[in-house]
Amino acid sequence: MCQVDGLILLFSSAMESRQVLYRTDCLLRGVGLVGSKGELVAFPAAVRFGSDLGRHGVLKKMTDLREAPEAVDGFDAARSAVPGGDSRGRVAELRAIQESALAGPSEAATEAQHAKGKLTARERIALLLDDGSFNEVEPLRRHRATGFGLESKKPYSDGVITGWGSVHGRTVFVYAHDFRIFGGALGEAHAQKIHKIMDMAISAGAPLVSLNDGAGARIQEGVTALAGYGGIFQRNTRASGVIPQISVMLGPCAGGAAYSPALTDFVFMVRETSQMFITGPDVVQAVTGEKISQNGLGGADVHSEVSGVSHFAYDDERTCLEEVRFLLSMLPQNNRETAPVEPTEDPADRRCEALLDLVPADGNRPYDMRKVIEEIADDGQYMEIHERWATNVIVALTRLDGQVVGIVANQPQSLAGVLDIHASEKAARFVQMCDAFNIPLITLLDVPGFLPGVDQEHGGIIRHGAKLLYAYCNATVPRISLVLRKAYGGAYIVMDSRSVGTDLAYAWPTNEIAVMGAEGAANVIFRRQINAAEDPEAMRVQMVKQYKDELMHPYYAAERGLVDDVIDPAATRTVLIRSLHMLRTKHADLPARKHGNPPQ
């Protein structure tokens, strides 16, 4: 005897038990069956099998599907509509089921998604991956939860599409929440699908892209759904520094669900349609009395300009996904490989005469460091990361002679290029990412120091500045630094100076490498002489000139071995490319340890 959800089944043979169990299992999921003679039948909800029904366990009553509409839901109609008496029938049945799963829950749900300015999960995957390359995993997966009406709603995929495909011919794993099914909320089966695809990505050594558009945990499934998030976080952490992980936010992401993107390497967001926050506007207003919109609390502009949670923000999904493809073209498959080399027609020995005019010799005049990067990069192309957050430092991926490199550069147009809390965090995270994925680092210095101020000191500039210092000291990839103009004090040391392990240090003849600026240094060193002079201002000017001539001339650092060479700015591209070619086979060992304990 077997009891399944209150139905008592008695069988006269093992064969009959298998047959009846198959039918009963289908019934419990609301599925109609095909009878032995090909007739379309279904089991009434109150059917009971037993010896009083005959020794063969034959149904005492069978009804046509039209008499038992409760036995079929939207997804199961395809399954019950095709006879499956032979292989061709079974294949036809399979195709009907697959087509139903691909179509989604309903046209109305798809139209509602489009009305919000959003694409469906499958449309997004089609834009991300190369045409026809997607291979879906567990497309027929369904949840097994009961209660709160879930037992009558068991759509295929359970609200998440998982699988792998290719981007520019290289394997990429992907999962995409389907907001049309349970609002993309995560349940047990949903989470297990994500866990599986994450494990596959780690094992295969290929990037993982998540297309997020979900309403958080599926409340009807209780704590089981929360445990699913724990499994995702654990795998995010295990994959960190092993495979590139990219989170694309295409809808809401609230509560604990927001921690998964924060654990990944890059976060993309779309304006107006994507939001991220731990507690929503209603909770914020209830607790603090502050009234704010979803976009004002956690929209794309907020996270790309204020919090730094998002690396990129775009106006529409198509542009966003195209940029994800471009980023993937500049990343290696995993930490055991290097980024792909792309042939270029831009000559390696091209002189950059424009640099002589782009960068003023006067250290107090600002300029746009982006133009310097454009001038030395292959075909002037680069991809800036965190473009609108901590703008006093630039981090970007570009190519030199086809090889991907990471650029860290001070931006004199913003806060004179000083390092502060956010700039230090931004640069440190980028350096760690490049080191994890074997991307050489080039640091362009024009830095007057760390930003002074009570807010900076109380905010922990020492601790945050140490993050950048730790990242550089710990990096084993090829590292090249170039001083364009100012390089003062601790900021010079932190920005990959020779003393913290850069492989090659160069400087332009406009460089000023010193403990501090000449004016400040003269005021400290020659304070008494200046105060005692008949004309203190004239004496100050004289002492500033003396300090510059003795300790800040362009060759002072080179004479002491702190700079490998002072180079012609127009030869910058050629020098950097030749240096990278030499360092391509660099090998560095770190001390044996479980892991470091970087400042937090």
Burial of 459 (0-12, 13-18, 19+ CB in 10 A): middle
Gap between the Cα atoms of 431 and 313, Å rounded? 21
With a CB cutoff of 8 Å and minimum separation 6, the contacts of 359 are 367, 372, 446, 484, 485, 508, 510, 569
Length of the chain as a residue count: 600
SS3 assignment, position 446: strand
Are 73 and 154 within 8 A, CB to CB?
Answer: yes
Gap between the Cα atoms of 470 and 431, Å rounded? 10
Gap between the Cα atoms of 556 and 487, Å rounded? 13
Judging by DSSP bridges, how do beta strands 2-4 and 7-9 pair with one another?
A: antiparallel
Are 290 and 309 within 8 A, CB to CB?
Answer: no
Are 449 and 488 within 8 A, CB to CB?
Answer: yes
With a CB cutoff of 8 Å and minimum separation 6, the contacts of 159 are 177, 178, 181, 182, 183, 184, 185, 186, 187, 190, 214
Q: How many CB atoms lie within 10 A of CB 201?
A: 26
Are 237 and 274 within 8 A, CB to CB?
Answer: no
**101 in catalytic set:** no
- Residue of 427, 491, 505, 521 marked active site: 491
User: What single-letter amino acid sits at 78?
Assistant: A
User: What single-letter amino acid sits at 266?
Assistant: F
- Reading the block at residue 379, the tokens are 């075909």
Comparing CA positions, the residue from 247, 262, 271 lying closest to residue 194 is 247
Gap between the Cα atoms of 289 and 298, Å rounded? 17
SS3 assignment, position 177: strand
- Residue of 84, 255, 402, 460 marked active site: 255
- Reading the block at residue 299, the tokens are 């929209």
Gap between the Cα atoms of 322 and 328, Å rounded? 10
With a CB cutoff of 8 Å and minimum separation 6, the contacts of 543 are 522, 525, 526, 529, 530
Please name the residue that has the structure tokens 């304070």.
527
**491 in catalytic set:** yes
Strand ranges in 376-431 using DSSP code E only, listed in sequence order: 382-385, 393-400, 403-410
With a CB cutoff of 8 Å and minimum separation 6, the contacts of 209 are 128, 172, 173, 174, 246, 247, 248, 324, 328
**490 in catalytic set:** yes
Gap between the Cα atoms of 411 and 290, Å rounded? 35
Gap between the Cα atoms of 63 and 51, Å rounded? 21
- Reading the block at residue 22, the tokens are 């198959």
- Residue of 89, 256, 402, 520 marked active site: 256
**57 in catalytic set:** no
Consecutive H or E run containing 540:
helix 536-551
Backbone angles phi, psi at 301, to 5 degrees: -70, -35
- Residue of 489, 490, 501, 520 marked active site: 490
Point out the residues that are catalytic: 255-256, 490-491
